[in-house]
Amino acid sequence: MRRLFVLILVITVSSCGYHLRSANSLAQNYPLIKIDISSQSLLKRPLVQALLASGAKLTDNNTEDASHLVISKDSLSKIIQSVGVNNQVQEYRLEYDVEYRIADSEIRELHLEQDYSFDVQQISGGQQEEQTLRKQLAEDMAWAIIRQINADSETQ
Query: Pick from 97, 136, 40, 56: which is nearest to 48 by CA?
Result: 56
CATH number at residue 116: 3.30.160.150
Q: What percent of the chain has pLDDT over 70?
A: 85
Structural domain range at position 54: 21-155
Q: Which comes out higher in pLDDT, residue 106 or 15?
A: 106
Q: Are 103 and 136 in contact (CB under 8 A)?
A: no
Give the Cα separation of 73 and 113 in Å (integer): 16
Query: Pick from 33, 37, 127: which is nearest to 75 by CA?
Result: 37
In a domain, 1, yes or no: no
Model's pTM, two decimal places? 0.78
In a domain, 54, yes or no: yes
123-132 long-range contacts, CB within 8 A, separation 24+: 130/78, 130/92, 130/94
Residue 65 carries which side chain, given as an amino acid letter?
A: D
In a domain, 16, yes or no: no
In a domain, 74, yes or no: yes
Report how many domains make up the chain.
Answer: 1
| Residues near 53 by beta carbon (within 8 Å), at least 6 away in sequence | 23
* Mean pLDDT within 110-126: 77
* pLDDT of the residue at 108: 96
In a domain, 35, yes or no: yes
End-to-end Cα spacing for the chain: 47
Whether residue 124 has pLDDT greater than 80: no
In a domain, 27, yes or no: yes
Q: Which of 73-77, 84-88, 137-141, 151-155 is the least confident region?
A: 151-155
